[in-house]
Copies of this chain bind each other. A is one copy, B any other.
Amino acid sequence: MSVLIVGTTALDSIKTPTKENPRLLGGSASHAAVAASFFSPVKLVGGVGEDFPKKYIQLYRRHKIDLEGLQVLPGKTFHWSGEYELNMNNRRTLATELGVIETFSPTLPKSYQSAPFVLLGNIAPALQHAVLDQMQKPRFVIADSMDLWINIALPDLLRLLKRVDGFVLNDSEAELLTKEDNIFRALKKIHMLGPKYVIIKKGSHGSILSGPKGFFICPAFPLPKVVDPTGAGDSFVGGIMGYLASAKGSIDANLRRAMVYGSVTASFCCEGFGLTRTTKVKRADIEKRVMELETLTQF
């Protein structure tokens, strides 16, 4: 089955202590779409400017990503530039040029409206609502977000949480949203805001699912070298949704395994700048790491 993915389609300039990487393909939708494409057909919703490099259109196409919902708009592509600290854990934004994203309004092609799986990737909650408004009756909707929207668009976000099946956020965002520093108390409070499934991302410490079948403690794949974690969270949720859309059976039966596939897909993302490593991955590479993670956690 197919996954509809909305989010930002951006150009990222990423500085690290050792390297500069100008205008890489980035954005939450790009990372999530490439990750999901390893498992299922993807329908991308986004907006880029006239400056958007052709090679990135070709990159999407190589991953068989449906681009009917990608609008090319007059103006410049959303451009983010940032810098990582030495430990690669803290990211500092240097500049954010919204470009066409400022006035972007998603219009879904007819062929998109019946997609059974919907990933509302990290973008303004108002745009996540706009996509949901155009969908017929999706089987499973998951939303991602970020601290920015908790800070400046909380009413929209809270309204969104009542419309989705699942919500993904990181541990610091969970604390910001709930004022709870304990992850398990935070999870309880987030369920009360609406979502049946809540996933808290903890970077290299893995992730935690809370759902009707209780908690699942999902490991991160051990990485001796993290080159650039930008987009890892988007790859994670993209992998989850791609796997879910490919799997037979109920969400409850598949979600844990989907998280492991998401975690592994995200691990590749961290091993290169932007999407440079992820786009070289084969499905067999993913299966190999999933099997390794099984070995690494059995007792």
In chain A between 203 and 234, which residues have their CB closer than 8 angstroms to a CB of chain B?
A: 204-206, 208, 214-219, 222-226
In chain A between 4 and 62, which residues have their CB closer than 8 angstroms to a CB of chain B?
A: none
> Chain B interface: which of A72-80, A115-123, A146-154, A180-188?
A180-188
A103 within 8 A of B: no
Q: Do A222 and B299 form a contact, CB below 8 Å, given A202-B205, A205-B202, A205-B205?
A: no
Q: Do A216 and B259 form a contact, CB below 8 Å, given A181-B86, A223-B184?
A: no
What's the Cα separation between A40 and B299 when bound, in Å? Answer: 20
Q: Which residue of B lies closest to A260 (CB)?
A: B299
Task: Tell me which residues across on chain B come within 8 A of A295, comparing CB atoms.
Answer: 214
What's the Cα separation between A183 and B88 when bound, in Å? Answer: 13
What's the Cα separation between A222 and B186 when bound, in Å? Answer: 12
| A296 lies within 8 A of B217 (CB) | yes
Quote the shortest CB–CB distance from A82 to chain B (angstroms): 19
A257 within 8 A of B: yes
A96 within 8 A of B: no
One complex includes copies of this chain to the number of 2
A298 within 8 A of B: yes
What's the Cα separation between A89 and B87 when bound, in Å? Answer: 23
| B224 lies within 8 A of A185 (CB) | yes
Task: Tell me which residues across on chain B come within 8 A of A88, comparing CB atoms.
Answer: 181
- How many of A's residues come within 8 Å of B, CB to CB? 36
Q: Do A298 and B256 form a contact, CB below 8 Å, given A222-B215, A224-B188?
A: yes
Q: Which residue of B lies closest to A299 (CB)?
A: B256
What's the Cα separation between A95 and B260 when bound, in Å? Answer: 45
Q: Do A296 and B214 form a contact, CB below 8 Å, given A86-B181, A89-B181?
A: yes
Chain A residues near B (Cβ < 8 Å)? 86-89, 181-185, 188, 202, 204-206, 208, 214-219, 222-226, 256-257, 259-260, 294-299
Q: A87-B181, A185-B225 are in contact. List 12 more A-B contacts (CB 8 A).
A: A88-B181, A89-B181, A184-B222, A184-B224, A188-B224, A202-B205, A205-B206, A208-B222, A256-B299, A259-B299, A294-B299, A297-B297
